[in-house]
Structure 1
Amino acid sequence: MSTAPDVATHAAALADPTHPAVGAATALLADYGPGARFLGTPSRTVLGHGTHSEVPHDDRPLAARVAGTLADARAAGVEAPVVIGAVPFDQSAPAALAVPEALRDAPPLAADPLIALPAEPPAAADWRIRQVPAPDAYGSAVAAAVERMWRGEFSKVVLARTLELDSAAPVDVPAMLQRLARRDPTGYTFALPTGPGRTLIGASPELLVSRRGRRVVANPLAGSVPRSDDLAEDVRRAAALLQSSKDLHEHAVVVHAVHQALAPHCADMTVPAQPTLTRTAAMWHLSTTVTGTLASPATSALELACALHPTPAVCGTPTATAREVIRESEPFDRGFFTGMVGWGDASGDGEWVVTIRCAEAEGSALRLYAGAGVVAASEPEAETAETAAKFRTFLAAVGAEL
């Protein structure tokens, strides 16, 4: 997987306006409009227009339905068909995946020097905000989960809450996408249709899995702390996260689950013994990059993603119990939140990303999602504060505050 270029490469690109990276990715970002499919990753930027074919919802495994759709598209004359879209948290629910009628490709956003130009600030809006559940109710759900963990019923659950925003004017999704992409250009930015007039938009820091040829990469994130505007405090928080027994344990559980899920599909794997730190504009995260070599080239990226999903980073452990706790505790349907978004091609290559730091926009309404990993050492106030910090990415993008 490619990464952002170094400073010298940036300087060379700026000095040479014919450099292929200059303006290529940001042009796709600028050309995004409602109903299109935009996805920016550390390896590529893609923009799809129109719908050649949709992945059907039936009893076949999702990966088989996608493979069939891609094969049919190629037989119909699409030279290099790619499926792009979103899969819900509940894999049995209908996905929003399609082969675009037209697909444009560019280098990653981080390789385009023009991404450093600031986005237009959000226009003034009188947002009405409703917290679901309310912070005290969310804290009570965390406390109840912790009590059950101490009784030995399960070891981790990820509990989420939402913000329902509404204003007089329609949500400006293209402008919001600009601000999200320019705020964290090295992450995974997306805007994808999930229904008539409805768009899933986000800027996720977490790669579920990618496959290029026989190389497999997963990058689980678990254990996090809000950033600080004060540099010294920000560094202190990062250092404390690396030494936090609670967060290190939470992270180790997720890495173990990723290892166990990928191992049957890989001839060899590399799993670092200790996590490192990764950051977004709002959060510090513990991060581990797991790599492997596929045992069979027939295994697609989406098959690997379906084997991994849901990891303990978005659900909990054991999975079945955590799912039940989520159903009992969250007064809303997660929909596509904590599902996966990404792309896959007919060769089996692809990138699938955990759908976090996201919202769904429809008309003048915007629904934001954020979750926190709850373990036996969790404190309700801290987990509520963590979700509030995670909301910051979107609140800043629309000019709203809690």
Structure 2
Amino acid sequence: MKNDTLLFTNDFSESGFVFAPFDSEQKAILFPLENSEFITEKLFLDAFIDQEKTFFADEAAKENHIKLVDKTIKEIKKNDLKKVVVSRTEQLEITDFSLLAVYQKLLQNYTNAFVYVWFHPKVGLWLGATPETLLEIENSVFTTMSLAGTQLYKDTVDVVWKSKELNEQQLVTDFIENQLSGISSQLKIDKTETARAGSLLHLKTKVTGVLNQKSTLKTLVSALHPTPAVCGMPREKAKKFILENEYYKRSFYTGFLGEINIKSLKFKTQSSSLFVNLRCMNINKNNASIFIGGGITKDSNAAKEWEETVSKSNVMKRVL
């Protein structure tokens, strides 16, 4: 940006880069294309060994998260909720923070992710490496994905998934298919596969289609965000539960970011690429806020859900 004015997109018809919060009722920040400068730099990644480190869990945080998960499970069982994604945040004091070094570690550890650094003087510094595409669209042809389930990567992607993760993944896929069926055609749902993201594995299903002529990028974004992978089902009830019961405000965690309406004169196309803001952190002076969560269903176990968030938080802590 050429100045520090905070701008927002009105209807996703502009060209530029957007940074959107989890709460879809709030506006997405826009870096307009005409106000931006593009700088290209070659980064030479030093060999970085992801060393095993010991991190100690906060007992109060553990107790709070287990209480939240138990409350969520009870709410699901007595309600028509099928899934709710609940999350927490950890505060980590950092010394000798080097933005470039952390960015390089993220690039090296997450070769299949969208790795970013985002800063605005009126909002702050965010960075992360997200394995989840919200959508990619070129002219009217789009690609999205459902992503759910987590387990540690242990030298192979040939793993067995339990029914809880498989059912959770199917819920996300079914939601996406239902949301897109009325605004697109030629929907194709690929076979579900195991995808690696750093030291974690997830279930991933690719979905492609063609946006109808009467539909817009805003229509498509509204249909998908927030997905059940970061919110739950039914979406509005799950979102209401999250906003009322989590111990903090998500802000831009589980929102989305990326380029919109970038034109290519050479290929006569217009494309947008948006990514769900997962595996991210917010840096404020000598403090890093790390965000982690997991999908809760009626079959969830609170203690195991806590351990999953610990695994996810350790992944991000290792790059600091």
| Both structures adopt the same fold (TM-score exceeding 0.5) | yes
Residue 95 (str. 1) matches residue 28 (str. 2): yes
Distance 1:393 1:164 in 2: 15
Distance 2:258 2:231 in 1: 19
Give the C-alpha shift of residue 213 in structure 1. 1.9
1:332-366 deviations in Å (ceiling 9; x for gaps): 00000000011112555211111110011121111
RMSD: 2.9
1:307 to 223, 238, 252: 223
Asked if the contact 1:276–1:288 (Cα under 8 Å) also holds between the matched residues in 2, the reply is: yes
Asked if the contact 2:4–2:121 (Cα under 8 Å) also holds between the matched residues in 1, the reply is: no
User: Which ranges of 4 or more aligned residues in structure 1 deviate by more than 4 Å?
Assistant: 51-54, 114-117, 119-122, 128-133
Give the C-alpha shift of residue 161 in structure 1. 1.0
* Secondary structure of the structure 1 residue equivalent to 2:31: strand
1:200-257 deviations in Å (ceiling 9; x for gaps): 10000000111012210001201121223xx3xx55xx5211xx21111111111111
* Secondary structure of the structure 1 residue equivalent to 2:129: strand
- Structure 1 residues 153 and 192, CA, compared in 2 at 3 Å: closer, same or farther? same
1:352 corresponding residue in structure 2: 274
1:364 corresponding residue in structure 2: 286
Structure 2 counterparts to residues 254-265 of structure 1, below 5 A: 254-265=172-183
Segments of structure 1 that go 5 or more residues without pairing to the other structure are 1-48, 57-61, 71-81, 107-111, 123-127
2:209 to 267, 270, 292: 292
1:118 corresponding residue in structure 2: 47
1:330 corresponding residue in structure 2: 246
Distance 2:184 2:249 in 1: 34
Give the C-alpha shift of residue 144 in structure 1. 1.8
Segments of structure 2 that go 5 or more residues without pairing to the other structure are 264-269
2:300 to 378, 385, 396: 378
Residue 240 (str. 1) matches residue 160 (str. 2): yes
Structure 2 counterparts to residues 220-231 of structure 1, below 5 A: 220-228=146-154, 231=155
Give the C-alpha shift of residue 104 in structure 1. 4.0
Distance 2:23 2:188 in 1: 29
Residue 387 (str. 1) matches residue 293 (str. 2): no
Give the C-alpha shift of residue 168 in structure 1. 4.9
1:15 corresponding residue in structure 2: none
Percent of residue pairs bearing the same amino acid type: 23
1:178-207 deviations in Å (ceiling 9; x for gaps): 110111122111111244371110000000
Residue 154 (str. 1) matches residue 81 (str. 2): yes
Number of residues of Structure 1 aligned to a counterpart in Structure 2? 311
Once structures 1 and 2 are overlaid, which stretch shifts more, 363-372 or 385-394?
Answer: 385-394
Q: TM-score, normalised by structure 2?
A: 0.87
Asked if the contact 1:180–1:393 (Cα under 8 Å) also holds between the matched residues in 2, the reply is: no
1:397 corresponding residue in structure 2: 319
Letter in structure 2 aligned against 1:97: L
Structure with the higher fraction of residues in helix conformation: 1
Asked if the contact 2:119–2:126 (Cα under 8 Å) also holds between the matched residues in 1, the reply is: yes
1:5 corresponding residue in structure 2: none
Give the C-alpha shift of residue 147 in structure 1. 2.0
2:267 corresponding residue in structure 1: none
2:68 corresponding residue in structure 1: 141
Distance 1:132 1:260 in 2: 41
Distance 2:79 2:50 in 1: 49
Structure with the higher fraction of residues in strand conformation: 2
Asked if the contact 2:4–2:122 (Cα under 8 Å) also holds between the matched residues in 1, the reply is: no
Say which one has the larger Rg. Answer: 1
Asked if the contact 1:202–1:359 (Cα under 8 Å) also holds between the matched residues in 2, the reply is: yes
Give the C-alpha shift of residue 105 in structure 1. 6.1
Give the C-alpha shift of residue 172 in structure 1. 2.4
Asked if the contact 1:173–1:361 (Cα under 8 Å) also holds between the matched residues in 2, the reply is: no
Distance 2:137 2:308 in 1: 31
1:217 to 143, 146, 153: 143
1:283 to 186, 200, 211: 200
1:33-56 deviations in Å (ceiling 9; x for gaps): xxxxxxxxxxxxxxxx54597533
Give the C-alpha shift of residue 262 in structure 1. 1.9
Q: TM-score, normalised by structure 1?
A: 0.70
Distance 1:345 1:255 in 2: 26
* Secondary structure of the structure 1 residue equivalent to 2:160: helix
- Structure 1 residues 327 and 54, CA, compared in 2 at 3 Å: closer, same or farther? closer
